[in-house]
Amino acid sequence: MSILFNILVFLHIVGAAMIVGYWIATLKEPTVHPRQRDGAFLQLLTGIAMMGVIPFLPDADPNYFKLGVKFAIAVAVAVLAVIGSRKVKNGEAVSTGLAHGVGGLALVNIAIATLWN
């Protein structure tokens, strides 16, 4: 089970990199890239899968409140990324707040994951 969990963590980090990387790349002209939406969905799916694997890990003592907060933020990131990518697809302008909401909330989620014990 620990190998599966480690693979899920790897994919979870790749999803975060997709969101934050494109956000940093477009800071001068903020927008939402379709790969940010894909990264948000990857984060949601791998996060849910990790929650399912945690009970089977030896010495696992998860902080479910922290994981619930991270899940709520991840859902918000995914919703914002879908809205932004649909605007881009339809040729509409993406507001600066929407673009920074996607990247900024993803960055907050990374901070929670790493700093909250």
CA distances from 59 to 2, 50, 54, 115 (A): 11, 15, 10, 20
Instruction: Say if residue 117's pLDDT is above 90.
Output: no
Q: What is the reported pLDDT for 46?
A: 98
Residue reference for tokens 């479910």: 64
> How do residues 27-42 score in pLDDT, each as one tens digit?
999 999 999 999 999 9
Instruction: Say if residue 1's pLDDT is above 90.
Output: no
Q: What is the reported pLDDT for 48?
A: 97
Q: What is the reported pLDDT for 73?
A: 98
The pTM assigned to this predicted structure is 0.93
By the 8 A CB rule, do 94 and 31 touch?
yes
The closest of 74, 83, 67, 96 to 34, measured between CA atoms, is 83
User: In this structure, what token pair is assigned to residue 116?
Assistant: 């909250």
Q: What is the reported pLDDT for 36?
A: 98
User: In this structure, what token pair is assigned to residue 90?
Assistant: 């339809």
**Domain residues of the chain, as ranges?**
3-115
> How do residues 51-107 score in pLDDT, each as one tens digit?
999 999 988 889 999 999 999 999 999 999 999 999 999 999 999 999 999 999 999
